A = this chain, B = another copy of it.
């Protein structure tokens, strides 16, 4: 039986689209069973509707604590029997309330080669730092900010005439390759975390890296 995956997205949802497309493959081990956005106008919700996936707008009210919001989020996810959660441009920090409900079952994608450039605007940080190589990381989410165990990383060059938009576009393209692969790996590879290192006992030779110059 396919795993039931929810995607949480605040923005355009291009990573959501990559996950939807991969889960449409006949051999996919997952189906995207729910998409939630905190922003009504997020194009991610429209992408879900176009793919006939249940889509919910779940705004956080101003007076609501992060914990209270996450409790409502967990309720919405559990109502749909969600097994795994993929954050895809989710602009809210998740709390222990959320992580305890999905222990080691929350993935995130970050636009840098962690541990370099955590936090906001990973691509802009890499440009300002003068990095010559940057990339993207899919990792398990823990209570830190972009600190969880790494599943896959993809590297891209920073080119001499890059501006932020060009670099971001290149990083997005490598994210779109990595995220579906990382999701397949956690579903099929029997992940085991030892220290900070994730081993895939079911697929010990799994390819967990990517180079993308295009």
Q: Are B135 and A133 in contact (CB under 8 A)?
A: yes
Among A88-106, those with CB < 8 Å from B are none
The copy count of this chain in the complex is: 2
Residue of B nearest to A129 (CB): B196
Chain B CB within 8 A of A168 CB: no
> Which of A18-26, A43-51, A54-62, A198-206 has 4 or more CB atoms under 8 Å from chain B?
A198-206
Chain B CB within 8 A of A214 CB: no
Tally chain A residues at the interface, Cβ within 8 Å: 38
| 8 Å CB contact of A155 from B114, B133, B149, B195 | B133
Chain B CB within 8 A of A160 CB: yes
What is the bound-complex CA distance between A195 and B204, given in angstroms?
43
Using a CB–CB cutoff of 8 Å, the interface residues on chain A facing chain B are 113-117, 127-133, 135, 137, 149-155, 157-158, 160-161, 195-200, 204-206, 208-209, 211, 213
Q: Given A113-B133, A132-B151, A157-B209, 16 other A-B contacts at CB below 8 A?
A: A114-B116, A115-B131, A116-B116, A127-B197, A128-B196, A130-B150, A131-B153, A132-B137, A132-B153, A132-B208, A132-B209, A133-B153, A133-B154, A133-B209, A160-B199, A161-B204
